Every structure is written in C-alpha cells, then in structure tokens.
Amino acid sequence: MSGRMVVAGAVTSADGRLLLAQRRYPPEVAGLWELPGGKVEEGEDPAQALRRELREELDVDVEVGTRLERSVELAHDLTLVALWARIVGGEPRAVEHSRLRWVTVDELDEMAASGAIVPADTVWLPELSLRISGG
C-alpha cells in the first residue's frame, strides 16, 4: 500500500441489501455507481474517515466493521480500501451523489454485467455478493 488512502463503505442492511451511490463527477465515472466514501485525512484512521465521509455524503451515522480483503491502487498514488458498515443513525440521502439505491445481490450482478459500477469497485464484487446473499 502506498500514498494516501481512500476508504469506501460497504453499507449493508438487515434485509441483505447493499447501498450504492451514483457519482456526479469526474466525467469518466459520472453516472456510475460506487460504494460511497472518500480520502482519509491527516490524523484519521480509515474507520474514522469513513464515519466522517458517510456523515458528509449520506447524512448518516455508521458503525464500521472489518475491512474487505481486496484493495486497489488508483492513479495519483491513492490506495482504495473498503470497510463493512451499517447505519446506526439517520436515513441515507444523496447529499453529494445523484441518487442512492439499496440493491440485492441479483441487482448488483446485473449492474456489474452492464458496466454500471465504477471500475475500481468491481474488485469487491465477489466479497459483496457472498456477504449480501447471506454467506
């Protein structure tokens, strides 16, 4: 792992859905769906950063769990990781994204097959599918 870290939230619901958020920018990925999150700031650990980012982006409080196995080396010396999370306060709303969606494993698979997921985030598809289908 090198450079600065970006942390994304694999936010799951009690009924086995995953929260996806549709990006507005940059143009290369605008309209595609991602696990919400952002850059870890100086002095934060990834869990703190994810709680802050999801408060800013979704207006919710989350409890953060373990890390997903895969990480991704992005451009600009950024390393992308993901943490499991669940909402413990508030109803998510799209503050910075165009839309939010709670998806089932079948919907996630369909979106991935049609290229609707941000390319970097596709590394987590196997882990996400296993978890939200009850694995």
Footprint of ligand 9L3 on this chain (CB under 6 A)? 6, 8, 34-39, 74, 78, 80, 118, 120-121
**Residue 90: how many other CB atoms lie within 10 Å:** 13
Rounded Cα distance between 83 and 70, Å, is 10
Cβ atoms of 123 and 34 within 8 Å: the answer is: no
34 binds, among Mg ion, ligand 9L3, none (CB under 5 to 8 A by kind): ligand 9L3
Q: How far is the CB of 72 from ligand 9L3 (least distance, A)?
A: 8
Rounded Cα distance between 52 and 38, Å, is 9
Q: How far is the CB of 63 from Mg ion (least distance, A)?
A: 19
With binding defined as CB under 5 A, does residue 38 bind Mg ion?
yes
- Return residues touching Mg ion (CB under 5 A): 38
